[in-house]
């Protein structure tokens, strides 16, 4: 950052503000502290009968790879509302949120993922502007070698683990760890 986003001043300095524990950019003119915090990514694995809905990405990163519908949370949006929005954007579908299945961290790129399982309303879906195609898969049909992100693989593996036991577990993981269930 070269200029303060509050007052436009070029007088920024990295310092630990009083009462804080981390270095922050602080404007020397208006004293605004500029925080740089992790991005929250939200998503939902839509489920219809014994299948899950995945979307083939029409955008970078990972153009052409399969993914659980997910994206950055918008300001003023709840995590569940963001997950529903992502399903609408990527799969032209509606979901009823069932439960939160994964809390997944990727510390090296400052991202936190919150993934839900949702029931695909009436089994209806299409292809949104961010997708090349969308498709329902059984567990055996999942294209594991073509899944875009570790967060999607983590969610898929744990969903099928839960389904075998009729569970609704919240799983916690961090890249590159496999993670553990939260009981």
pLDDT tens sequence across 8-49: 999 999 999 999 999 999 999 999 999 988 999 999 999 999
DSSP assignment of 142-154: --GGGB--HHHHH
Predicted confidence at residue 182, as pLDDT, reads 53
For the four alpha carbons of 23, 109, 155 and 58, in that order, the dihedral sign comes to: positive
Backbone dihedral angles phi then psi of residue 53, each to the nearest 5 degrees: -100, 125
Q: What is the CATH number of domain 39-182?
A: 3.90.79.10
The length of the chain in residues reads 183
In the chain, where the domains are located: 1-36, 39-182
Q: Are 172 and 182 in contact (CB under 8 A)?
A: yes
pTM of the entire predicted model: 0.87
In this structure, what are the phi and psi dihedrals at residue 80, rounded to the nearest 5 degrees?
-65, -40
CATH code assigned to 1-36: 2.20.70.10
């Amino acid at each position: 950052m070269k200029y303060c986003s509050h007052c436009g001043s070029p007088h920024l300095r990295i310092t630990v503000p009083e009462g804080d524990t981390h270095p922050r950019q602080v404007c020397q003119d208006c004293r605004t502290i500029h925080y740089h915090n992790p991005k929250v990514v939200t998503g939902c694995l839509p489920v219809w009968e014994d299948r899950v809905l995945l979307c083939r990405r029409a955008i970078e990163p990972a153009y052409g790879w399969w993914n659980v519908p997910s994206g950055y949370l918008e300001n003023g949006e709840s995590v569940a509302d963001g997950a529903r929005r992502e399903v609408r954007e990527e799969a032209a579908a509606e979901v009823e949120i069932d439960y939160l299945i994964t809390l997944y961290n990727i510390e090296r790129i400052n991202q936190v993922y919150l993934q839900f399982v949702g029931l695909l309303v009436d089994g209806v879906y299409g292809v949104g502007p961010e997708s090349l195609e969308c498709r329902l898969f059984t567990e055996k049909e999942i294209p594991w070698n073509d899944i875009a992100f570790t967060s999607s693989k983590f969610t898929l593996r744990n969903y099928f683990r839960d389904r075998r036991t009729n569970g609704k577990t919240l799983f916690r993981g961090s890249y590159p760890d496999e993670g553990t269930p939260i009981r």
